[in-house]
Amino acid sequence: MKFTGKVFVLLASLLFVVSCQNNNRKQQENLENDYVHLKPDSVLSPKELELKHTLGDIIIEYVVIENNQFVFKLSKKEFLKKGVPEKYYNLVLQNIKDNNKYLDSLLDSLKIDNIDSLLENTKNQYKNLRQNSGNVGL
């Protein structure tokens, strides 16, 4: 895999993966029961699947790069108007904060100056997958 491909995969993972810092199995199971993006599509109800897709679409549309940092450009009020529960707004903000910390160290070690185009690539691939299959979520 080319260097840019590795960075692309890493950025895609940074956008869509919730890092669980607590290794307690019971807490992890509770998270999986509470958050639709941690469940496989095959076990989701139609309403949960729609929520998962909506959340993915929101992230793709409203996460941008400013000064080599992820920024979420949707207010809490507007986020809630889209029908997504508040816990996901808080989760997105926390993940962006965590990912920015990791990204800072990664950019320093890899000597990357600008990740805008990599994020745009990730967004375009997600949009293409959604258009072609309709079943792609987070």
Report the percentage of the chain scoring pLDDT > 90: 28
Residue 11 lies in a domain: yes
What pLDDT, on a 0 to 100 scale, did the predictor assign at position 97? 94
Average pLDDT over residues 100-123: 76
Q: Answer yes or no: pTM beyond 0.75.
A: no
Rounded to whole angstroms, how far apart are CA atoms 20 and 31?
A: 9
Residue 8 lies in a domain: yes
Q: Say whether pLDDT at 35 is over 90.
A: no
64-77 tens-digit pLDDT: 989 888 999 999 99
Rounded to whole angstroms, how far apart are CA atoms 63 and 96?
A: 9
Indicate the number of domains in the chain. 1
* Range(s) of the domain holding residue 49: 3-133
Residue 105 lies in a domain: yes
Residue 138 lies in a domain: no
Q: Is residue 106 a contact partner of residue 98, using CB atoms and an 8 Å limit?
A: no
